[in-house]
Chains A and B, each alone.
Chain A
Amino acid sequence: MTGQSITRHMCLGLLDRIVVFLLLVVLTFVLPRLMPGDALDLMLSSDMARSMSRAETDNLRQSMGLDATISTQFLTYVTNLAQGDLGRSIQHAAFVSDLIGRALPWTLLLVLAALPVYLGISVVIGIEAGREPHGKTDRAFTGVMTLLASVPPYSAAVFLLLGFAVLWPLFPASGAEPLFPSPDPLSRSLAIARHAVLPVLALSLHEIVRFYFLTRGEAVGLSGRPFVLNARARGIGGWRERVNYFGRNLLATLLARMTDSVAALFGAVIYIEIVFAYPGIGLLLYEAILSRDHVLLQGIVLTISALFLTVNWVLDAASANLAARG
Chain B
Amino acid sequence: MRLLSWHPSRAATATAAVLALCLMLPELLPPYVTTRDVLQPPGPEHWLGTNDIGQDVLTGLLRAAPNTVLIALLAAAAALALSIPFASLTVTSPRWLQRTLMRVVDVLQIVPSVLVILLIAAWVQPGLGGIALLLALTIWPDDVRVLRTAFRREIARENVAVARQLGGSWTYCIGRHVLPAMGPVLLGLFLQHVRQAALKTAGLGFLGLTDPRLVTWGSMMQDALDHLHTSAWIWLLLPPAACLTLFLHGVLRAGGRLERSGQTLTTGLA
Contact = CB atoms under 8 A, between A and B. Distances in A.
A155 B224 CA distance: 11
Contact of B119 (A27, A35, A151, A290): A27
A266 B225 contact: no
A152 B188 CA distance: 21
A179 interface: no
Given A149-B269, A155-B241, A289-B122, A17 B110 contact: yes
Chain A contact residues, majority secondary structure: helix
B269 A154 contact: no
Closest 9 CB pairs of A and B: A267-B114, A150-B249, A150-B248, A289-B122, A150-B245, A155-B241, A16-B107, A154-B206, A301-B115
8 contacts: A23-B111, A150-B249, A154-B221, A158-B221, A159-B241, A266-B115, A289-B209, A309-B112
B146 interface: no
B179 interface: no
A263 B119 contact: no
A147 B111 CA distance: 29
B252 A286 contact: no
Nearest to A23: B111
Contacts of B207: 270-271, 274, 286, 289
A200 interface: no
A158 B115 contact: no
Contacts of A32: 123
Contacts of A270: 114, 118, 207
Interface in B67-121: 103, 106-107, 110-116, 118-120
B147 interface: no
B228 interface: yes
Contact of B114 (A17, A147, A213, A266): A266
A28 interface: yes
Given A31-B120, A146-B256, A290-B208, 14 more contacts: A16-B106, A20-B107, A147-B249, A149-B252, A152-B199, A154-B218, A158-B237, A159-B241, A266-B114, A266-B115, A270-B114, A297-B119, A301-B118, A309-B110
B270 interface: yes
Chain B contact residues, majority secondary structure: helix
A149 to B, nearest CB: 6
B114 A297 contact: no
B229 interface: yes
A309 B113 CA distance: 12
Given A16-B106, A166-B228, A31 B270 contact: no
A152 B221 CA distance: 12
Contacts of B246: 150
> Max chain A CB contacts within 10 Å: which of B107, B115, B248?
B115
A24 interface: yes
A161 B123 CA distance: 30
Interface residues of B, number: 43
B250 to A, nearest CB: 8
A151 B245 contact: yes
Interface string B120-154: 10111000000000000000000000000000000
B111 A271 contact: no
A150 B106 CA distance: 29
Interface string A166-206: 10000000000000000000000000000000000000000
A263 B114 contact: yes
Nearest to B246: A150
Contacts of A275: 225
A31 B206 contact: no
Contact of A263 (B112, B123, B228, B245): B112
B32 interface: no
A290 B253 CA distance: 37
Contacts of A159: 241
Interface in A13-62: 16-17, 19-20, 23-24, 27-28, 31-32, 35
> Max chain B CB contacts within 10 Å: which of A146, A260, A298?
A146
Contacts of A217: 268
Contacts of A147: 249
Given A155-B245, A158-B241, A146 B252 contact: yes
B107 A305 contact: no
Nearest to A290: B208
A264 B240 CA distance: 23
Contacts of B228: 158, 161-162, 166
A312 interface: yes
A220 interface: no
